[in-house]
Amino acid sequence: MPAPRTLAELEADVARDLDLTGHPRAPWLVAKTVGGAPALDVLIIGGGQCGVAVAHALKRDKVDNILVLDRADYGREGPWTTYGRMRALRSLKDMTGPDLRLPSLTYQSWHEASFGTAHWEAMRFIPKELWNDYLLWFRRITGVPVQNGIEAGAITPATTDDGLPAFRIETSEGPMHARKVLLATGQEGIGAWWMPEHIAALPRAFRAHTNEMIDFAALRGKVVAVLGAGASAFDNAAVALEEGAAEVHVFCRRAELMVVQPYRWLTFAGFLRHMGEMSDEWRWRFMSHVLGMREGFAQDHYDRVIRFPNFRLHTEGEWQAARVENGRAVLTTPRGEFTADYCITGTGVRMDAAARPELAHCAENIATWGDRYTPPAREANPRLAQYPYLNADSAFVEKRPGETPWISGIHLFGIGTTMSFGPAGSSINAMAISAPRVAAGITRNLFAEDMPRLYADLCAYDEKQVEVDAARLAAE
Ligand SMILES: Cc1cc2nc3c(=O)[nH]c(=O)nc-3n(C[C@H](O)[C@H](O)[C@H](O)COP(=O)(O)OP(=O)(O)OC[C@H]3O[C@@H](n4cnc5c(N)ncnc54)[C@H](O)[C@@H]3O)c2cc1C
């Protein structure tokens, strides 16, 4: 079937597809207030791909009284046009994602309508800027309401004026109220970007994390050391080389590089849909194996650096200590000392709810995997034990039941869900399956809390679907 020729034609297709699949169309939620102020049904914090995908899924289920907040400026949500230094996504280009499998909403449809089918066929991987453009188009065409430039702060419990559980959310524009909150706050959304303490202790002029904005032009002619051998480490090394660094050294902490991609293995429907329903033993076993391998770099990342003669790769290169000497950073590694002008750490994130302002009133009582499950000694991993242990609806669970029961109304979608559900929100390959699941967890709870009102509605329901001839009935 030929692809639509123009974006305008595609947009007409999207409108028609959304309408053709609009069943069931009946609204079923009633707007609430908290202390007289309007309350949203769902406030989504984070307007990256995860927040927008769940918002779209909610809208499809007629949950329209929602809002997505993002502290970033329009078009600057997530890594794609900010700290992401790859040229293209590592995901296969034909994956479905926030489209939730509606053909006209897929990346491919948008790409073909924007640049033509031949362009799509010639493209190997999706350039990150195009992915960002697609996400912006997606949220416009689906009508997902996003407000940029607003930062959400602490979440506290509240009650709607008719007695249902709700939240007050502090924001940079004043308080908001909502019945449910979805945290879609990205990689560091349930913790913080992390680097070894002795590197963090170096003066800022000597070090950065890959998630920071780095002045690479200032590294021209310098020796740059990068810690980590994941995709981001290689991307940062590549940019430093391209910007004219004298030498760039990537230090991999392990003895061998990670050259297989476990996320490729697990990209099949059974895993993506059902891993979250399996026993703790199996979830831990699979996900600790996957996350224990860490996500490696792809061929393109490697090719991008290896063509430079001033690039070096060091295995068993952990940075065990660091100091500044004669205006340079001296790193202690198992193979001796190494002196660099600048250090970049590609060491990822650490789960730590206490690091998040949104969770200031409940972080301490959010159950982690370490609270709920003790793996066999050979599978132990303290880093992964810090991941939140989520309910089946992707909401937080209490560490000590009864102290903060309201946290069951805060749902999570992002990398923090990985131990509980597999790569649910942290990667595009799972999104078409995981976003509707998270949305269903939210709608389930909205529905459950509305039982008395809905029952009263049912009892009062008197819309006739047939007019009976009462006089004739009486005569018979
Ligand atoms: C460099 C990089 C490359 C990646 N490449 C791929 C890839 O090729 N394929 C793949 O499948 N996955 C990839 N990922 C993983 C994942 O797809 C991305 O991290 C993706 O951005 C996750 O989407 P998200 O919506 O969870 O988070 P984000 O896109 O990071 O969006 C979160 C948003 O929340 C906002 N926010 C946070 N806190 C607040 C607050 N308190 N108030 C208001 N707003 C807030 C932020 O401003 C941000 O815009 C990559 C990740 C990185 C870091």
Say yes or no: 355 and 424 in one domain: yes
Which residue of 50, 358, 417 sits with most ligand 1 atoms within 8 Å of its CB, as the best mutation to test the pocket?
Answer: 50
Ligand 1 nearest atom to the CA of residue 70, by list position = 44
Ligand 1 nearest atom to the CA of residue 95, by list position = 11
How high is the pLDDT of residue 257? Answer: 87
Q: Which residues pair with 342 in a beta bridge?
A: 224
Mean pLDDT, range 248-263, rounded to an integer: 90
Say yes or no: 47 and 159 in one domain: yes
Evaluate whether 84 touches 238 at the Cβ level (below 8 Å): no
Which protein residues are within 6 Å of ligand 1, measured from CB?
A: 45-51, 69-72, 77-79, 84, 86, 89-91, 151-152, 184-187, 232, 358, 414, 425-429
Mean pLDDT, range 62-90, rounded to an integer: 97
Do the domain assignments include residue 21? yes
Task: Quote the mean pLDDT of the chain.
Answer: 96
- What is the bridge-based pairing of β-strands 349-351 and 176-183? unpaired
Mean pLDDT, range 41-53, rounded to an integer: 98
Say which CATH number the domain at 434 has.
3.50.50.60
Percent of the chain beyond pLDDT 90?
92
Confidence of residue 297 (pLDDT cuts 50, 70, 90): confident
Evaluate whether 283 touches 276 at the Cβ level (below 8 Å): yes
Mean pLDDT, range 382-394, rounded to an integer: 97
Evaluate whether 398 touches 365 at the Cβ level (below 8 Å): yes
284 CA to centre of ligand 1 in angstroms: 24
Confidence of residue 3 (pLDDT cuts 50, 70, 90): confident
How high is the pLDDT of residue 249? Answer: 98
Say yes or no: 98 and 146 in one domain: yes
Residues in CB range of 326: below 8 A, 6 or more apart: none
415 CA to centre of ligand 1 in angstroms: 9
Tell me: pLDDT of 430 over 70.
yes
How high is the pLDDT of residue 296? Answer: 76
Which residue of 43, 56, 67, 71 sits with most ligand 1 atoms within 8 Å of its CB, as the best mutation to test the pocket?
Answer: 71
48 CA to centre of ligand 1 in angstroms: 6
Protein residue with least CA distance to atom 1, ligand 1: 84
pTM exceeding 0.95: yes
Transcribe 451-473 into DSSP letters: HHHHHHHHHH----SS---HHHH
The b/e string for 93-111 (b: 16+ C-beta within 10 A; e otherwise) is eebbbbbbebebbbbbbbb
- The whole-angstrom separation of Cα 89 and Cα 67 is 28
Residues in CB range of 137: below 8 A, 6 or more apart: 110
Ligand 1 nearest atom to the CA of residue 88, by list position = 8
Mean pLDDT, range 178-196, rounded to an integer: 96
**Domain enclosing residue 251, as ranges:** 195-259+296-347
Protein residue with least CA distance to atom 37, ligand 1: 185
Do the domain assignments include residue 19? yes
Domains in the chain: how many in total? 2
Do the domain assignments include residue 473? no
Confidence of residue 144 (pLDDT cuts 50, 70, 90): very high
Mean pLDDT, range 69-97, rounded to an integer: 96
Collect contacts of 265-270 with beta carbons under 8 A, ≥24 apart: 266/290, 266/422, 266/423, 267/429, 267/430, 269/433
Say yes or no: 322 and 227 in one domain: yes
Do the domain assignments include residue 26? yes
The b/e string for 117-139 (b: 16+ C-beta within 10 A; e otherwise) is eeebeeeebbebebbbbbbbbbb
The token pair that represents 278 in the structure block: 């399996």
Tell me: pLDDT of 384 over 90.
yes
How high is the pLDDT of residue 427? Answer: 83
Tell me: pLDDT of 457 over 80.
yes
How high is the pLDDT of residue 1? Answer: 63
Say yes or no: 51 and 97 in one domain: yes
The token pair that represents 19 in the structure block: 């309408």
Look at residue 367 and give its three-state secondary structure. coil
